[in-house]
Amino acid sequence: MSDERAIDSARDPFARLRQATRARIALGRAGDALPTRALLDFQLGHSRARDAVHGAVDFDAIAERLPTPSLRIRSQVRDRAEYLRRPDLGRRVHADDLAMFAAGRGAFDLAFVIADGLSAAAVNAHAVALIDACWPRLHGWRLAPLVLGEQARVAFGDEVGAALGARIVAVLIGERPGLSVADSLGVYLTWDPKVGRSDAERNCISNIHADGLSPARAADTLIGLLTAVRRIEGSGVAVKADTAALASLSRGD
C-alpha cells in the first residue's frame, strides 16, 4: 500500500493532493492551454449542467410513482427562457390553475411541492425516492395533496401552501447544476407559507444526489427539521438558532 503510494507520487507529485479536493487541479498543460482530455472533461460537465437546466421533468412518470394522488399546477411562466429571466413569475401560481386548489383545500399540517427548479435531472432522479423515504414516517401528520409545480421556484410553495391551507410547505426542487453535479435536489421548509415570505424564513437541505446526501439520510434530516418547525411554530432563523435541535439532527444518522 505504502509502496504503491510512493510510486504514484514519484510519477505524479500531486497524487496525494488530488485526494483532498474535487477541484480540477494538476491538469497538465498543452503549451499554456488545457490538454485535450481536460478540455473535453470540462465540456462534458458543462453539457450535462445545461441539459439539466433546459430539460423537462417527466411529471407524468413521477405522478404514477408517488404514494399519493397529486395535483399538477403551473406557475405563471410560459417557457424556460422566461423562467430564467423572470423569477417573479416562477414564484406565482397560474391564474387558471388556482381553481384546482378549491377541491384540495383543508386543514393540513404539511404540503409537499415537487418543483422543477433549475435541474430537471435532479427531480427526475431523486424526488420520488425522497418522498418514499419520508412517507411512512409521517404518521399522524395531516398531509395535503402533493403538488407538482411546473416552471416553479422555491417561493411558488408559499402561494400553494396558503391555497391548500397547510401550516408547513416543503418544496423539493432541482438545484442550480454545478459542473461536477448536475442532478442535485434541494428541500426548502417554510412555516405558515404565504406570498411574500423571505428566504431568511426558510430552512434548506441541499446537495441530495448520488455523491452527496442520499434520499434516506435527507429524509432523516427532513423529518427532524419538520418536527422542529412544528414544535417551534416557525422556520428559518428561528430554527437555525435552535442549536440543540440542529445538533441532534446532524448526529441523527
* Residue 92 and residue 71 in contact, taking contact as beta carbons nearer than 8 Å: no
Work out whether 252 is an interface residue with other proteins (CB under 8 A).
no
Report the alpha-carbon distance of residue 32 to residue 52 in Å, rounded.
31
Nearer residue to other proteins within complex by CB, 94 or 176: 176
Work out whether 64 is an interface residue with other proteins (CB under 8 A).
no
Work out whether 177 is an interface residue with other proteins (CB under 8 A).
yes
Q: How far is the CB of 19 from other proteins (least distance, A)?
A: 8
Q: How far is the CB of 186 from other proteins (least distance, A)?
A: 12
Burial of 179-214, coded b for 16+ CB within 10 Å and e otherwise, reads: eebbbbbbbbbbbbbeeebeeebbbbbeebbeeebb
* Residue 63 and residue 148 in contact, taking contact as beta carbons nearer than 8 Å: yes
Work out whether 253 is an interface residue with other proteins (CB under 8 A).
no
Report the alpha-carbon distance of residue 163 to residue 89 in Å, rounded.
17
CA 150 to the chain's CA centroid: 14
Pattern of binders to other proteins over 92-131, x per CB under 8 A?
Answer: --------------------------x-------------
Determine the interface stretch with other proteins among 28-36, 71-79, 121-129, 162-170 (rule: CB under 8 A): 28-36
Q: Which of 1, 20, 102, 244 binds other proteins (CB under 8 A)?
A: 20
Work out whether 34 is an interface residue with other proteins (CB under 8 A).
yes
Report the alpha-carbon distance of residue 169 to residue 153 in Å, rounded.
13
Q: How far is the CB of 43 from other proteins (least distance, A)?
A: 8
CA 171 to the chain's CA centroid: 8
| Edge-to-edge strand list for the sheet holding 146-150 | 70-74, 146-150, 108-115, 166-174, 185-191, 202-208
Q: At what angle do helices 120-134 and 36-54 cross, to 10 degrees?
A: 60
Q: How far is the CB of 171 from other proteins (least distance, A)?
A: 18
Work out whether 25 is an interface residue with other proteins (CB under 8 A).
yes
**Residues contacting 149, CB < 8 A, separation 6+:** 73, 74, 75, 113, 114, 115, 116, 156, 157, 160, 171
Nearer residue to other proteins within complex by CB, 39 or 107: 39
Work out whether 86 is an interface residue with other proteins (CB under 8 A).
yes
* Residue 193 and residue 161 in contact, taking contact as beta carbons nearer than 8 Å: yes
Nearer residue to other proteins within complex by CB, 115 or 226: 115
Nearer residue to other proteins within complex by CB, 65 or 85: 85
Work out whether 206 is an interface residue with other proteins (CB under 8 A).
no
Work out whether 57 is an interface residue with other proteins (CB under 8 A).
no
Q: Which residues are annotated as a binding site for adenosylcob(III)alamin?
A: 154, 175, 204
Q: Please report, as ranges, the residues that interact with other proteins according to CB under 8 A.
A: 13-14, 17-18, 20-27, 29, 31-34, 38, 42, 45-46, 49-50, 52-53, 84-88, 118, 176-180
